[in-house]
Amino acid sequence: MSGCGAFDDDELLSEKQLPASSCSNTSCNGTSTTKTCSNANGCSTSTGCQQQQQQGSFGSWARRQAATSTAAPAEEQQQQQQPGSLGTCMKCKAAPAVALIRQHEPYCNACIEAGVIAKFRYATKGQGLIATGDSVLLAVSGGAASMALLWCTIAMQSAHSSRPERGKVPFRLAVLHVDCSAAWGVPAEQAQQRLQQLQAAAAAAGFAEQLLVLQLHDVFADQAQLLQLLQDQQQQQQQQQPGVEQLQVQLQAAHLSVAEQQGTSQQQQQQQWRQQWQQQLQELLGAVSDTTGREDLAAHLQDSLLLRAAAALGCSRMLRGECACRTAANIIAEAAKGRGFSVPADIQLLDARLLQQGGPAVLRPLREVTLKELAALCTYKGIAWSDRQMGQPRQGGSGSAGRGSSAHGAASVNQLADRFIADMQGSVPASIYTILRTASHLQPFGFNALAAVPGAAEMQSSAARQSAKKQQQQQPQAQAQPEGGGQQQWLLCSVCRAPLPASAAAAAAAAEDSGAVADAAARDRLLLAGLTGAHSRQLCYTCNRQLLYKVEVQPEASSAADTSLDARMQRLRQLLPPGMLLEDD
């Protein structure tokens, strides 16, 4: 897929959707099938309106809805717990169904597994994005999506580099978990228990090595300190391998005293570092008064830490376990927060905006798979996960992806988007794919194209080439990519890495450098967009509103408007990790 944003209707929506027109109230004459109105524009169920429907007029989805419209949600959950009550799998027509996925379609465990692994292979190996010799970093949070992604990755990894198994790829895999428990005040005992459960779940998924674990406050470490933290964990893993046990005994016998002294000093030094970094993180999050801004800031810090860790480990690819449900909720939330310009960049399969700066190419191979499918796969494989249900408030902890609930109980924009998607999915099963298909019409950026990754197009499978060619023929009106494709340098936000509108930023810079006051209306528009000021051009519109205008300034700062804005930016520069915000020219 060249744009990585188009969806195959035959693959995603195998059944016809209900028409958008409202239903008409008719009385049953005994010859037609009646059902409770479930149209989005029709009457509510509480009114008892009945819709006259001929058999098969709306497809099999409507017939299944007519048969199950009177079932209570509790009864549906009981049916899902009893595989035999769901009937036969609609795909293989043989095995008993275990879950209702997509448009309430019954699927068995084997068909769910085959569908998930096929989409994963097509998005990675089929697109040429994971090839022989690549170094891959997989970020796990403990949820169903990330644990299913870990299982799919290990299933595709070949253990023999010289003679790989059929359909598998020999590549180096590192699994990293960012623990956000300290940021949201989770007790240390609970966090340690959570890490032990995550390690056991990773072992059940087939990952025999020890997970790499970083704390969220490690984002304040410089690259040398971060590299030392990762190397110490890797050395501990190598020492635990049974194949080098005798060599370890000899080395320890020869250098025992020196190793103990060096190890003790390094541990003490790391503890001092982390205590200082934890205080800085608490001060940074406490200075942001906006609930949504605090959640997003923690998520941006987590993303920055993952990218820096991938660069330190020498990984050229990073896999993220973002499923269709999470992507749809992010689309709604980002659009509501004013980050609509960068939405196309964050929903594609490929994100290579930092590849030229030494960062990894971020892949989202599960973005077309629902959370229910991934949860069913984990249950089938015996992999434990600790994912919250869609629509429930985001709780703090290591599995929350850096988003915690407000101390005052106020719902953030992210929580409201989750609940909205959950409600929509409960009433209209195709709502998630409708949102994804609508967002896919937005023009992606050059760093989302396959050409942004050198050599990926040559490794692309024939099926992927044919699919990309078909999409180009079906969308001749799509705008051409800018010259240079993925090589174009975009101006990125210093905090969230969102691409900034180049034309608006250039106009703001030109207007301020010239000092012209003729176009006052244009300057006012740029001021409202948060693009005026040399320091403000480092932040996108959303970060301006969530961070710059919400950060608490020191009491001794001046109350003047311009000076206060400069003071807020200076305060942010002191609180954020070093190098994230550049000094003003």
3-state secondary structure 330-387: HHHHHHHCCCHHHHHHHCCCEECCCCCCCCCEEECCCCCCCHHHHHHHHHHHCCCCCC
Name the nearest CA neighbour of 295 among 416, 396, 378, 222. 396
| Mean pLDDT within 239-264 | 46
Structure tokens at 21: 């027109």
pLDDT-based confidence at residue 187 (cuts at 50, 70, 90): confident
Name the band, by pLDDT with cuts 50, 70 and 90, for residue 489: confident
- Report helix, strand and coil shares of the chain as percent, to nearest 5: 50, 10, 40
Q: Give 155's pLDDT tier (boundaries 50, 70, 90).
A: very high
Q: What is the pLDDT of residues 468-483, one digit of tens each?
A: 777 666 554 434 444 4
Helix axes 413-427, 324-336, angle to 10 degrees: 130
Helix or strand or coil: residue 518? coil
Provide φ and ψ at 15, rounded to 5°. Answer: -115, 160
Does the pLDDT value for residue 186 go beyond 50? yes
Give percent above pLDDT 90 in the chain: 40
Residues whose CB is less than 8 angstroms from the CB of residue 436 and which lie 6 or more positions away in sequence, other chains included: 7, 324, 327, 328, 331, 347, 367, 368
Q: Residues near 221 by Cβ (< 8 Å), separated by ≥ 6? A: 229, 273, 277
When pLDDT is averaged across residues 87-93 and rounded to a whole number, the result is: 92
**Residue 101, beta-bridge partner list:** 105
The confidence band for 159, taking pLDDT boundaries of 50, 70 and 90, is: confident
Evaluate the CA torsion angle 302, 305, 310, 316 in order and state its sign: positive
| Residue that the structure tokens 């499918």 belong to | 373
Other beta carbons within 10 Å of 524: 11
Cβ-based burial of 203 (10 A; exposed 0-12, middle 13-18, buried ≥19): middle
Largest CA distance in the chain: 94
Q: Is 146 exposed, middle or buried (0-12, 13-18, 19+ CB in 10 A)?
A: buried
CATH superfamily of 130-239+266-418: HUPs (3.40.50.620)
Residue 120 has a pLDDT of 96
pLDDT band of 69, cuts 50, 70, 90: very low
Mean pLDDT across 150-161: 92
Q: Report the pLDDT averaged over residues 103-123.
A: 93
The conformation of residue 165, written as its DSSP 8-state character, comes to P
> Which amino acid is located at 501 in the chain?
P
Q: What is the pLDDT, as a whole number, of residue 570?
A: 85
Q: How confident is the model at residue 526 (pLDDT cuts 50, 70, 90)?
A: low
Q: E strand or H helix at 277, and its extent?
A: helix 245-287
Alpha helices, DSSP H, located in 104-176 = 109-123, 144-156
pLDDT per residue over 271-281, tens digit each? 888 899 999 99
Min mean pLDDT across 19-28, 176-185, 509-518, 531-540 is at: 19-28
Global pTM reads 0.76
448 has a pLDDT exceeding 90: yes
pLDDT at 114 over 70: yes
What is the C-alpha separation between 119 and 439, in angstroms, rounded?
20
pLDDT score recorded for residue 583: 66
pLDDT at 416 over 90: yes
The pLDDT tens digits of the residues spanning 300-327 come to: 999 999 999 999 999 999 999 999 999 9
Q: Is the pLDDT of residue 258 over 80?
A: no
pLDDT above 90 for 235: no
Query: How high is the pLDDT of residue 519?
Result: 55
Q: Tell me, what's the pLDDT at 408?
A: 42
Q: Which of 79-88, 120-129, 374-383, 472-481 has the lowest mean pLDDT?
A: 472-481
pLDDT at 330: 95
Mean pLDDT of the chain: 75
Strand 361-363 versus strand 350-351 pairing type: antiparallel
Residue 314, pLDDT score: 93
444 close to 5: Cβ distance less than 8 angstroms? yes
In the numeric block, the tokens 């970094």 are attached to 277
Q: Report the alpha-carbon distance of residue 1 to residue 451 in Å, rounded.
A: 11
Give the SS3 label for residue 173: strand
Domain boundaries of the chain, sorted by first residue: 9-112, 130-239+266-418, 502-575
Say what the pLDDT of residue 566 is: 78
Q: Could you count the other beta carbons within 10 Å of the beta carbon of residue 441?
A: 12
> How many angstroms separate the CA atoms of 72 and 58, rounded?
23
Query: Which range among 38-42, 160-164, 409-413 has the greatest average pLDDT?
Result: 160-164
Listed ranges 120-134, 242-256, 521-535; the one with the highest mean pLDDT: 120-134
Torsion of CA 363, 367, 369, 371, to 10 degrees: 100
**pLDDT at residue 438 is higher than 50:** yes
* Coil, helix or strand at residue 278: helix
pLDDT at 24 over 70: no
- Give yes or no for a contact between 351 and 307, defined as CB atoms under 8 angstroms apart: no
pLDDT at 556: 59
For 5, the 3-state DSSP assignment is coil
Does position 123 have pLDDT exceeding 80, yes or no?
yes
168 vs 178: CA distance, rounded Å: 28
Read off the pLDDT of each residue in 275-291 and give the average, rounded to a whole number.
91
